[in-house]
Structure 1
């Protein structure tokens, strides 16, 4: 998709205005509030959400498009925001795909993701710089396809060692550098390279964005992930003139959608939420204080205990004395009841996940444009492969001109 230099900036400004105008809908967290304030303003929607059966709830959690269409019947703001969030699919490009031996030891979903990435970025004409690359699967595939040398940067020395063995096995010119990419004062010689990063978390992809600008990279292809990583308080936009201010909790909302979790992980997650909510109700009864108080993460081992043991352990950590005569079956049932309400009321909040994610990616895209890059955005795979499927592709305009002149 070819775009003008003002196209993405216009999209960002529109998205910024709409997210600010609808913050009262997506910012309140039903987990922390018995009823968010918007429930009072939209009683018909609230009643409809709470009346959803388990099949409908599962359907809406599985298919965001169906959810957006349903809630859009109650709130026009959701429909208009959904239109603004649509992105084109990245046009698939040919690349030299190796035989199956090349993918030995690689999980099937990971293989699907890196092959989709390889098709999405198109032709590679510069040495590759693989950012936080693990064993270097992506860099190795692209190095093989385009006969370009690869430098893989990764902090885990064991992964670097295993990746280097694989590169030698297949005759790929791929070097590995053990480096902490988040270290203060990071110094790299990356000028003229083509950087790639698949699911680089938070500050890692933001650091690559900064390095690309500072060191004049020829090309950059990023699939961002985990936007809250590395943000202590609030996100600092790169683009001037934006009004939206995002907290760390807001950033977490952008990545709460999961489609790859196994059944055991889902069961554990649901139990943890329900048990925590039950504990919150117990705490309110004991303290008489309805104000939500945050709690530290709960060790997974605690979820293997009985509910009463879970609550007593958590109460000890929270310095709370629980009533001796607590009816534990009723207390747990109340937690599961609250869990059902939270899951249903959170559906409205979930409608804004993609908008916040796109706002964050557009912020990076517009900053790259202001520093002389041509930028394209699009989805590189279906959300069933990964919900983090937005690819940001940037090419230095001087480099693009040189390519055209030599063709």
Structure 2
């Protein structure tokens, strides 16, 4: 994959169709694009619940449906395609290695380690948690691993795991955001599995002076710790993204348990029920909606709305038919979900734009870079891996 050409193609697609993905259907009763694409809007609103669920779970299938109803968007599926990285064989671990690692996380660790080149230089595990990935690489490649983590409890677990397995793993309890942590990067291959937002971006931002031999980064939570607007890394970036736009790239619950998805559905319906009530009382307008404490959902819809009304300084009438407004919230959620399918069709292209921006940033800072998938979406939607090796040094390669 030619990274810069692919980046420019995706950037052009996103800029040409930003009217479809920038407006949030949660905040706007009917997105402005409905006037430009009336047949598409009608087709979306005609979808039954089963089709909505199927398309939400399978973006590729929705992309086919979307291109049939809006041929101008036929390139979306192609823009979202990313090749898988080649895998290597790893020696099996002792069965005790899996103790205390959730199955999905264990599978992500194995996939990450299998799809990165073998490490010859010392390894730094960035934002290490309990050090599972670093321990796996230490055992697989016979290299010394330094695992950097801020949480003392997780650090203690990492120390225990290293001692039990006999891995050559040293644990440093420190904040990755502190300037002093950068000293650990020099002459290392740096691994970052789902380090959130600025925690992975800081590696790229400082790559020119930090002296790493290689980076293996699977980015996550692009909206966390970002500037407003997002500051890109490569010279050809022209797309302006605010935190709300960055969230589009990660709005997936494909791996969430069923009860979590049901809870999220209720939360959204109740918020939309309150918004409908407020609009009826104060007139329709696009207003910010701050996060709601989880405890506010515990006492039912009416109590939830009364708490919100107090916070938002909304004067409620004496008599409110709460069941009616809750019903309106659920109906509004059904509409929002259908319009969000279009916005979410741009989710992967947006994520790929962000990942390619990181990759090109590393390329411009003196690294040879590859980008590809290290696992299937069903294991984690955040399945893109950036492999970067310093030019003129092959110690990080297999």
SS at match of 1:133: coil
Shift of 1:159: 0.4
Q: Distance in 1 between matches of 2:200 and 2:218?
A: 8
* 1:254 matched to 2:254: no
Please show how residues 145-224 of structure 1 align to structure 2 within 5 Å: 145-183=140-178, 187-224=182-219
Please show how residues 3-402 of structure 1 align to structure 2 within 5 Å: 7-183=2-178, 187-287=182-282, 289-400=283-394
SS at match of 1:398: coil
Shift of 1:195: 0.5
Shift of 1:130: 0.1
Shift of 1:185: 6.9
SS at match of 1:231: coil
Contact 2:63–2:76 (CA under 8 A) maintained in structure 1: no
1:127-155 superposed Cα distances (whole Å, 9 cap, x missing partner): 11000000100000000011100100110
Contact 1:131–1:197 (CA under 8 A) maintained in structure 2: yes
Contact 1:96–1:146 (CA under 8 A) maintained in structure 2: no
Q: Distance in 2 between matches of 1:231 and 1:247?
A: 9
Contact 1:373–1:394 (CA under 8 A) maintained in structure 2: yes
Shift of 1:397: 1.9
Q: Distance in 1 between matches of 2:256 and 2:241?
A: 27
Shift of 1:11: 1.1
Mark the CA change 1:310 to 1:264 in structure 2 (over 3 Å): closer, same or farther.
same
1:23-72 superposed Cα distances (whole Å, 9 cap, x missing partner): 01110111011101111111111111111111101100111100111111
Q: Distance in 2 between matches of 1:231 and 1:367?
A: 16
Shift of 1:232: 4.3
Shift of 1:218: 1.1
My pick for the range that moved more, 30-39 or 237-246, is 237-246
Q: Distance in 1 between matches of 2:384 and 2:271?
A: 33
Contact 1:271–1:303 (CA under 8 A) maintained in structure 2: no
1:57-88 superposed Cα distances (whole Å, 9 cap, x missing partner): 11001111001111111223432132133111
Aligned residue pairs: how many?
A: 398
Unaligned 5+ segments in structure 1 are: none
Contact 1:191–1:216 (CA under 8 A) maintained in structure 2: yes
1:154-189 superposed Cα distances (whole Å, 9 cap, x missing partner): 100110011101101111111111111123675424
Relative to the length of structure 2, the TM-score reads 0.97
Contact 1:27–1:250 (CA under 8 A) maintained in structure 2: yes
SS at match of 1:395: strand
Contact 2:205–2:233 (CA under 8 A) maintained in structure 1: no
Q: Distance in 2 between matches of 1:185 and 1:273?
A: 42
My pick for the range that moved more, 175-184 or 200-209, is 175-184
